[in-house]
Amino acid sequence: MNIIYLPILALVILPSIDGHIRLTYPQARQYDFDFLTNTTTNGPCGMPEDALKTVFKTKLITGSMVHVTWHMTLLHRGDFRIQLLYRNGTIAFELTPKTFNTSDLQKGITIIQNYTVTLPQQFSCHHCILRLIYDVMERNHFHSSYAIWSCADVEIGPFSCSQLNCYNNGNINHQCTNQQSILCQCANNTTTGQRCQYQNECQTDADCNYHGRCLTINQDYNYPLKQCYCSAGFYGYKCLKNSTISVVQPDDISSYTFTKLDDNSQIWYKILRTSNEIEVIHQTKTLSWVGLGWRPRELKQSCQLFPAGAAPGLLISPINSPIENQAANQPVNHSMDCMDMVIGSARGNLFRLFDYYSRDRSTPRMDQFYGGSDSLTAAVGMEVNGTTTFRWRRNLVANERSDNTITNSLMDIIYAYGQHLPSSTHIPSLDRQGHPHYNHYYGPDQFKYHGSTNRGRLVINFFGDARLNTTPCSGSWATQCADSDCLNHLTWNVYYDGTVHFKMVSHTTKWIALGISNDKKMNNSDAVVGWFENKPVLTDRYLSGTIPYIDKKSNVYLINGSEINGVTTLNFYRFINIFDHTNDISLQGCHYFFYGVGGSVIPKYQFIYKHPTTPYISHRKICIDSQSCQQYSGPQYKTLVSDECSGRWLTGCSNGNCQSFVSWNVYNDGTIHFRLSSKTDKWVALGFSYNNEMADTDAIVAWYYNNTPTLIDSYIDKNKVLTLDAFNDVYLINSSNINGQVTYHFYRHIITGDTRTDSFLFGCYYFFLAIGGNFNPITKKIEKHPSKPSIAPVCIDTSQCTKAKPPNVGALNDSLTFDTCSGRWITGCAIGLCQNHLYWTVYKDGRIEFVMASRTDRWIAIGISDNRQMNDSDAIIAWYENGKPIISDRYLMANSSHGFAPIDPINYQNVILINSSINNGLVTFRFYRNTTTNDSQTDISLEGCHYFFFAIGGKVEGNKKITKHWSTPYISFKKICIKSSQCSEYNQVSAALHVYKEKYKWMAFITIVIIGLFH
């Protein structure tokens, strides 16, 4: 198995700069994690006072000067504050000036890690808090105020120096004076500081038991400054343990599995079943530290309830997120959470390597910090010519909370290695020529922030993670395997017609990719990237550098695809030899394959985000010999593949090449999108028939003339004569005519406004696909097709397509805008066209004028509701009958939940029609009513705030009976507010309107029962 860091795409990475700061004097409250922020932990300190059940308080003298020190693992833009708090967390004193600026004035980068403060005179406290706060400017564009804090518990009083306390088992010098510099007598030569507060690991080589060297590694207040680096054959704290391995990299590594982490780092590993151990060789191009971590993929956030004492202050999720016990059952949400790690550094033939644990985004700590022990059973390391290599072993089974068992399953893996200025990347504006303090901040082997590039994550099963089987004419490759289950499968077959047919299957809803490489390198690799976003999508790409550019001409051909229960499947083919020698690699011969899993997709731009895990690469070249595959005929795949919401139909196919195809997708806005393509210079048509006959068939016909596409909505009558529809209900999105291949991308509604000549595309039909015949672009007359059309049965069920959102191809969006005197509400928008429009204007005398329009030949209605419910709603319904407009004022009563909406009594018909029209399928009614009418029983006053409804019928039958609306009415997402007293004066409507009102009264004598309104 080979896993290689081979990015399939470029990713814009936002900076992830987090705080890593902790007090070193006075001693920080335990546990002294260095990632305690105001957004992820509870105030005032992040760490509870009694996490260890006992509280250590540093005694300080009232009015004295205190030299406060701290350690931070990365440079920051921003300033710090030192505060004195009462025990309850309220601020007693600011110990640094409010205008204090500790940043480099030119770069704004904080470099100070110590500051002397003066405690207030005449102030004492038995238990108060000294708090260090860093305001991190890099993150304040994400949060209004992003800060890191670290607290120390202190006791302040008029003590004599002999009453003070010492650290690390130091003893107070009882002969001291307040001015005497030697305050504490330290227990050994490895502790230092006036209070013995700083602890080194060693002072001389003797402290390393002469099994290594005592080297000065760290600087500032990052203790221990001096550390033991062991010789081969020894490892552990002060080099006390004997190692059974003393060679960093054995001559024969064929028994190891290799994984390339990135261009600078790689590992080899194997399971030692006899001793129940894992052995890892980790090699990285760096002069700094190197780390590798792992955890079970199913791990929950409850792992962060350890250590128990710290859990109440360290939130599992950010502040204001769900309560702790709910979050505890969710998956861990950061790659560093609950990671078992091995971290080390080397200098020449000397090294140090330890077992660490990462609870969260704090700097990982050795297992002893958590009360555990070092679980390594053997270790050796070295650094030669800028390359650091470790070889180590540990038991597979964990015996303590700070370790994770390595199981025969997929595990989350992280890796990182230290950065070194001037190549540091986490502060882009850093002066790379610059400040000498910066250039030494990330010194060799100092355990500090790794930067944004020296890190990564992937998924591995250490027990064996890839299976590859090949012949010259076929192959299979499975990756991310646990026992017999694999998350990714790639199969291929080579045929005599010179094609290779691929099938990719992955447990993902993101993009998946196949890459072809001559040299295992990302640069100059061929790639096929696909995904399922309401429909299968396949793109032909070429990687130049790290960017996967889409080829100008695609040489991969999608057969079909699906996404079912989180499993994405793509079937496609390409020719072994192609004419694009610039961006495509011939499959003849031997190449490396790589397999990647994304990463999200922006479908509109076909932009893909970076894969979250490192792609797999075949550990050997895969060879294809087309001459050996002459006996294999092409696949007999189905030319029709469809379900309730999508389909693909190919016609005129031979040896993998098809003359025509049509694909379709049904979306939850009530539209169906088609892509119709054919190799022809004649007309091409798609028809819909109930009975497998050409007569009485709905048809969509298209052609190209003078590089201009034409798309017409038509109908084949019972005499098989094609006529244009009175209403055009098909809408061209885009089209092309390339090398004789014409393609039309268009859409229509499942149910259009044309009930006479358009089919309702709901249920089962026969699809026709026909090719002309000449055409007359002026008269739009077409000649008969010379060959018989292809016919295929297709079933569509829109109820199964509720989650399929239409693509964004420049459509207008549904919109609602209003003030107290006017408004506009547009609904049913798709592909630049909106079906429904409602406008209103309010006047000072209490009149409100509406314009209601829709593309339909059915009734349309607006409703007014106090609670978004159908019952007890006011309604105005209009339609055309025998060429005349009809409008009526109605009310949906509480007992009308089954769809009945009586007309208001004649004396309470308070809706007055001004005018109306029908224009190219758009029916428009202009009318008015008073905001508050004389009907307090069945009219709702429009003064104030209400929800609006917009509904479309339903047909109008005899006796003015109307049937139920075909789709759920639109409901305004918020209440619409009207206040006529704030509006302008009313412009009088002509007297003819009043005549119309009198004429209209007789129409309302009959109470009409409306079935299904807003039901």
**% of the chain with per-residue pLDDT over 90:** 37
Banded model confidence at residue 1006, pLDDT cuts 50, 70, 90: very low
| Cα–Cα distance measured from residue 38 to residue 29, given in angstroms and rounded to the nearest whole number | 16
**C-alpha to C-alpha distance for 578 and 500, rounded to whole angstroms:** 12
Compute the distance between CA of residue 145 and CA of residue 142 in angstroms, rounded to an integer: 9
Say if CB 38 and CB 139 are below 8 A apart.
Answer: no
Please report where in the chains the tokens 């001459």 appear, as a residue.
Answer: 627
Which one is predicted more confidently, 143 or 62?
Answer: 62
535-548 tens-digit pLDDT? 888 999 988 877 78
Pairwise pLDDT comparison (273 vs 602), residue with the higher score:
602
How far is it, in rounded angstroms, from Cα 390 to Cα 376?
Answer: 12
Is the pLDDT score of 510 beyond 90? yes
Average pLDDT over residues 816-838: 80
pTM above 0.85, yes or no: no
Average pLDDT over residues 964-983: 84
Q: Residue 830: what pLDDT?
A: 54
Peptide linkage before 26 cis (omega within 30 of 0):
yes
pLDDT at 465: 56
Alpha-carbon gap, residue 549 to 522, rounded angstroms = 13
Which of the two residues, 312 and 591, has the higher pLDDT score?
Answer: 591
pLDDT at 110 > cutoff 70? no
- pLDDT of 936-957, one tens digit each? 888 999 999 999 999 887 777 7
Confidence of residue 848 (pLDDT cuts 50, 70, 90): very high
Question: How much of the chain is in helix, strand and coil states, percent to nearest 5?
Answer: 5, 45, 50
Give the separation between CA 243 and CA 592, rounded to whole angstroms: 38
| Selected residue with higher pLDDT from 715 and 178 | 715
Token representation of residue 826: 């547009």
Q: How far apart are CA 857 and CA 868, in angstroms?
A: 26
Round to whole Å and give the CA distance between 158 and 495: 92
Residue 246: predicted pLDDT:
94
CB 292 within 8 A of CB 255: no
DSSP 237: G
Looking at residue 257, what is its pLDDT? Answer: 78
Residue 425 pLDDT greater than 50, yes or no: no
Neighbour-count burial for 655-667, b at 16+ CB within 10 Å, e otherwise: ebebbbbbbbbbb
Residue 345's pLDDT band, with cuts at 50, 70 and 90, is very high
Q: How far is CA 932 from the centre of its chain?
A: 49
pLDDT band at 377, cuts 50/70/90?
Answer: very high
Paired tokens of 763: 């249920």
Provide the pLDDT for residue 6: 29
Please, which pLDDT band fits residue 248 given cuts at 50, 70 and 90? very high
Residue 61 · residue 177 · CB < 8 Å: no
Peptide bond into 921 cis (omega under 30): no
pLDDT of res. 959: 67
**Which residue, 491, 467, 469, is CA-closest to 479?**
467
Residue 894 has pLDDT above 80, yes or no: no
For 216, the 3-state DSSP assignment is strand
CB 669 within 8 Å of CB 830:
yes
Report yes or no: 905 and 888 within 8 Å, Cβ to Cβ: no
Q: What is the mean pLDDT of residues 267-278?
A: 89
CA torsion angle 889 895 897 900 (round to 10): -40
Strand partners, 945: 977
Angstrom distance (rounded) from CA 707 to CA 737: 8
The pLDDT of residue 13:
27
Tell me, what's the pLDDT at 1008?
Answer: 27
* Model confidence pLDDT, tens digit, residues 515-566: 999 887 778 889 999 999 888 889 999 888 777 888 887 888 887 888 888 9
Q: Under a CB-based contact definition with an 8 Å cutoff, are residues 726 and 754 in contact?
A: yes
**Residue linked to tokens 């393509």:** 677
pLDDT tens digit sequence for 443-494? 787 888 888 888 999 888 887 656 777 888 888 888 887 656 788 999 999 9
**Residue 194 in this model has a pLDDT that exceeds 80:** yes
CB 922 within 8 A of CB 931: no
pLDDT at 291: 96
User: Residue 421: its pLDDT value, please?
Assistant: 54
- pLDDT for residue 821: 93
Work out the percent of the chain whose per-residue pLDDT is above 70. 84
| 3-state secondary structure at position 200 | coil
Sorting pLDDT into bands at 50, 70 and 90, what band is 4?
Answer: very low
The larger pLDDT score, comparing residue 539 to residue 718, is at 539
Alpha-carbon distances of 307 from 50, 358, 436, 520, rounded to whole Å: 12, 12, 40, 44
Mean pLDDT, the chain, integer? 82
What is the mean predicted confidence (pLDDT) over 591-603? 90
CB 237 within 8 A of CB 227: no
Residue with tokens 């956030």: 301
CB distance 360 to 33 below 8 Å: yes
Per-residue pLDDT tens for 66-93? 999 998 887 766 788 999 999 999 999 9
CA distance 505 to 511: 11
